[in-house]
Amino acid sequence: MAAHDLELVGLVVATGDRHAFGQLVERYQTLVRAMLTRMTGNHALADDLAQEAFIKAYRKIGTFTGKGSFKSWLCKIAYTEFLQSLRKRKAAAAAMERYKAHQDMEERSAKWDSGDAMDLDRALAELSEVERTVIVLCFSSGMSHSEAAEVTGLPLGTVKSHINRGKAKMRALLETKEAVQV
């Protein structure tokens, strides 16, 4: 039987067991990489940020109190990593990043042979940073509104507003595209 998250965390805190932490990485890497891929629109950058997030999680694991879920705690670290990277990339590099992200998305969609991911990423790119974040947390990472509020540090009501606005924008974008295709 697979060990519970808290058992593995306890083992890492008590003994620094890298193998136990490796099991947590195995368990959550898909979630974190998917979340960051949707947030950044760039597969390679998302993987780099995910690695940094896991390494920071290992170093800070003693601060995990077990109050919330390990998943939320880890996603909060990944979200902070994303924000820090965003700040670094902003200003002059922003235009280049968007261009690169767009290229990356096109490459991926060609490789994956699926239009869904590309449409989704394009629609996500039209949202504001915070709208994209809460939409990804709730619809991709499967978090509740409360968990998304915990990860982003926003009040619950604000999270709900951003989700509604983000959903309305995505609906308009995706349904307009469908109407054009028909």
Partner 1 sequence: MMTPEDGFEARLRTAFEKADANITPDAHFTRHVESRLGKPLNSRTMVLGGAGASGSAIAASQLERLADGLQFHNPLLTQFFDLVGTQSVVAIVFTLVAGTFIYVLPGRRI
Q: Supply the minimum distance, in Å, between the C-beta of residue 9 and partner 1.
A: 14
Instruction: Answer yes or no whether residue 10 interacts with partner 1 by CB under 8 A.
Output: no
Q: What whole-number distance in Å separates Cα of residue 17 and Cα of residue 32?
A: 21
Q: Of 32-91, which residues contact partner 1 (CB under 8 A)?
A: 33-34, 37-38, 47, 50-51, 54-55, 58-59
Stretch of residues binding partner 1 (CB under 8 A), selected from 14-22, 64-72, 74-82, 96-104: 14-22
Stretch of residues binding partner 1 (CB under 8 A), selected from 17-25, 84-92, 94-102, 143-151: 17-25
Q: What whole-number distance in Å separates Cα of residue 154 and Cα of residue 150?
A: 7
Residue 169: count other Cβ atoms within 10 Å of its Cβ: 18
- The nearer residue to partner 1, 51 or 80, going by C-beta atoms, is 51
Q: Which residues lie below 8 Å from residue 32, measured CB to CB, with a gap of 6+? A: 50, 53, 54, 74, 75, 78
Q: Which residues lie below 8 Å from residue 118, measured CB to CB, with a gap of 6+? A: 105, 106, 108, 109
CA distances for 159 relative to 72, 121, 164, angstroms: 15, 20, 9
Q: Supply the minimum distance, in Å, between the C-beta of residue 59 and partner 1.
A: 6
Contact with partner 1 (CB under 8 A) among 29, 69, 80, 161:
29
Q: What whole-number distance in Å separates Cα of residue 92 and Cα of residue 97?
A: 9
Instruction: Answer yes or no whether residue 181 interacts with partner 1 by CB under 8 A.
Output: no
Q: Which residues bind to partner 1, rule: CB under 8 A? A: 15-16, 18-19, 21-22, 25-26, 29-30, 33-34, 37-38, 47, 50-51, 54-55, 58-59, 108, 112, 114, 116-117, 119-121, 136, 139-140, 167, 170-171, 174
